[in-house]
Amino acid sequence: MTDLRSRVGRYGVFLGRLSLEPAAALRRDAAKIEAMGYRTVWVGEAFGREPLTLAAILLAATERLVVATGIASIWARDAVATMNAARTLSEAWPGRFVLGVGVSHPPLVNARGHDYRRPRAAMASYLTAMRASRYDGPPPEDGPAVLIAALGPRMLELAASQADGVFTYFVSERHTHQARVTLGPLPVLAVEQAVVLAESREAARRDADAYVSAYLALDNYRSNLRRLGYSEADLRGAGNDALFDSLIGWGDGDALTVKVHSHLEAGADHVAVQVVTPSSPHGVMDGLSRLAELMKLGEPPG
């Protein structure tokens, strides 16, 4: 397989709320994100657009951008459907699609009518079924690469042995370091990092507290943070300032780039930035443009 690290690059974008734009606007924004210098866009799965269909829209609207699912839920479609969709996209757009799969969260899984039990065993069985699935279409030249959404050590170990790497979400650079130690040097480690363009923590919290509290309400994220040493008091509501600073990059200059680069220094291969703002999608795009400028993404290497 062509080196996955070079394909996804060091910097990407987690689309978040942008993925809910009308298709015409989404196509325009994807082309702009590509022009800014980001290498990969990531799309999730909850109750919005179906991610594999969305990936095709984004791939068709761009020329070089890699599109990755971060993540497609294993409860939303069977393993054959997921793998064959990934093969279809990988054949149509060689080297530009990455399949990320995950076990999601109990409220989202239960809402689909499934029973969220033994998530690691479910993932292991799903990966086995993906590898064994029959596909009669033209095979892709390369891939598809498969990543797993992983936070805890057992899922990270599964990814190290049965996938090409992991995609982590709502994590600190301390978790990134621990994940790299668990994974070893070979698997790809891609990390989401939320950022807020704000001149003070108070302003940043006004913009991002709702984002933080939504994820702190999910047991998988709370358990991961407890493993890192945070107490229940630290996790109450939108968390205390120390927790907020560990999860959210905020500022309007060097502080933002330092936060993004801290994951690379901790062992990540790729950081997917997510601009968190209560304003319109235009605010997200403005934030991505500003961050690309700060990280000098559009400039040739010196």
178 found inside a domain: yes
Domain count along the chain: 1
188 found inside a domain: yes
User: Which pLDDT score, from 0 to 100, does residue 104 have?
Assistant: 85
**145 closest CA partner among 75, 220, 93, 185:** 93
51 found inside a domain: yes
200 found inside a domain: no
Domain extent at residue 185: 4-192+252-294
Domain at 107, CATH number? 3.20.20.30
243 found inside a domain: no
Find where tokens 């029973």 sit.
115
244 found inside a domain: no
User: Which pLDDT score, from 0 to 100, does residue 302 have?
Assistant: 47
Is the CB of residue 155 less than 8 Å from the CB of residue 122? no
217 found inside a domain: no
Question: Residue 35 burial by CB count (10 A; 0-12/13-18/19+): exposed, middle or buried?
Answer: middle
Helix runs in the chain, H state only: 4-8, 23-36, 51-61, 79-92, 106-111, 119-132, 153-162, 173-183, 201-216, 219-227, 241-247, 254-266, 281-294
Regarding pTM above 0.85, the answer is yes
- pLDDT tens for the chain, 302 residues: list them: 459 999 999 999 999 989 999 999 999 999 999 999 999 999 999 888 999 999 999 999 999 999 999 999 999 999 999 999 999 999 999 999 999 999 987 777 677 777 778 999 999 999 999 999 999 999 999 879 999 999 999 999 999 999 999 999 999 999 999 999 999 999 999 999 999 999 999 999 999 999 999 999 999 999 999 999 999 999 999 999 999 999 999 998 899 999 999 999 999 999 999 999 987 788 999 999 999 999 999 765 44
257 found inside a domain: yes
